[in-house]
């Protein structure tokens, strides 16, 4: 798939935001544009055991905007819209591998 097509696809997603991705623990940070925050899927809820005192969200990070530091479990994501910080519990690829889907939690 070509770069122009990927850029067009992720621009069409609603509720875009930028996030700050920090490699854990206490590592380098990068700001990633064009991200989307979504609820967890039913599969993620079933597979990832988290306490009831945790809030859940998934972040879609455009592969084209992730510069070198691919997200992994334990990394931190800070949402620019509300300054909330989330811990990555699971990472996968989505939408024809054009996004990293990071299932994250934060304490309530």
Could you tell me the CATH number of the domain that includes residue 29? 2.40.10
- Please write the tens of the pLDDT for every residue from 45-73: 788 877 777 788 999 999 999 987 889 99
Q: Which SS3 state, helix, strand or coil, does residue 42 take? A: helix
pLDDT digits (tens, 9 = 90+) for 91-103: 998 777 889 999 9
CB atoms within 10 A of CB 75: 22
- What pLDDT does residue 10 have? 47
* pLDDT surpassing 80 at residue 90: yes
What is the tally of structural domains in the chain?
1
Per-residue burial over 44-56, b if 16 or more Cβ lie within 10 Å, else e, is beeeeebeeeeeb
Structure tokens that stand for 76 in this block = 């931190």
Its domain, for residue 26, covers: 3-107
> pTM here?
0.80
């Amino acid at each position: 798939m070509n770069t122009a097509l990927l850029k067009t696809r992720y621009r069409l997603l609603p509720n875009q935001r930028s996030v700050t991705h920090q490699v854990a623990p206490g590592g380098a940070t990068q700001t990633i544009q064009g991200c989307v925050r979504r609820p967890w899927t039913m599969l993620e809820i079933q597979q990832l055991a988290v306490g009831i005192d945790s809030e859940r969200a998934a972040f879609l990070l455009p592969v084209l905007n992730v510069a070198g530091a691919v997200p992994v479990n334990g990394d931190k994501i800070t949402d620019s819209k509300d300054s909330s910080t989330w811990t990555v519990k699971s990472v996968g690829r989505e939408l024809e591998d054009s996004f990293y889907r990071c299932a994250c939690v934060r304490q309530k």
